[in-house]
């Protein structure tokens, strides 16, 4: 059984949903050494999240951003955590709903994703800065 673990840096992006599958693979080539295994991804932040979704039509990412901004509004009078800006508490709520980790299969050195699936960075802050993603891979 082989194990690999690496923390990679994702570039800073404004609020939105971003396809990052290729960015991950480019920074973590050890995946190609695994014939059969699993990759676990942990986004080490509380105001952004990870998701698996449509990798083809960018309108899906725009629609997801629109939905979450409508469902989790800024400046709600009941928010207590407001010292870091109006986008901060909604970012924590969105991150809790979507989640900060994924576990995906590896087959023959590649992530075994569906034809139309890709990994998203869901950036919920206007200026979240660079993000850290911890990747742990194991298999044979």
Domain ranges in the chain? Answer: 2-139
User: What is the per-residue pLDDT for 1?
Assistant: 93
User: What is the per-residue pLDDT for 42?
Assistant: 99
Give the C-alpha separation, 70 to 112, whole Å: 33
CATH code of the domain made up of 2-139: 2.60.120.460
Task: Give the pTM.
Answer: 0.96
Mean pLDDT within 53-77: 98
Residue 73 — φ and ψ, nearest 5°?
-85, 155
User: What is the per-residue pLDDT for 94?
Assistant: 98
Contact 19, 119 (CB under 8 A): yes
Q: Is 122 left (phi over 0), alpha (psi -120 to 50) or beta?
A: beta
């Amino acid at each position: 059984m082989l194990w690999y673990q690496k923390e990679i840096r994702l570039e800073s992006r404004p609020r939105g949903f971003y396809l990052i599958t290729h960015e991950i693979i480019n920074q973590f080539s050890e995946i190609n050494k695994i014939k059969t295994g699993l990759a676990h991804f942990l986004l080490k932040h509380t105001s952004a999240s990870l998701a698996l979704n449509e990798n083809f039509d960018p309108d899906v990412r725009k629609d997801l951003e629109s939905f979450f901004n409508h469902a989790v509004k800024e400046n709600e009078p009941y928010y207590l955590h407001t010292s870091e800006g109006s986008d901060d508490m909604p970012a924590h709520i969105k991150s809790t709903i979507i989640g900060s980790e994924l576990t995906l299969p590896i087959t023959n050195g590649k992530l075994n994703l569906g034809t139309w699936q890709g990994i998203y960075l869901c950036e919920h802050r206007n200026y979240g800065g660079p993000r850290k993603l911890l990747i742990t891979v194991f298999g044979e």
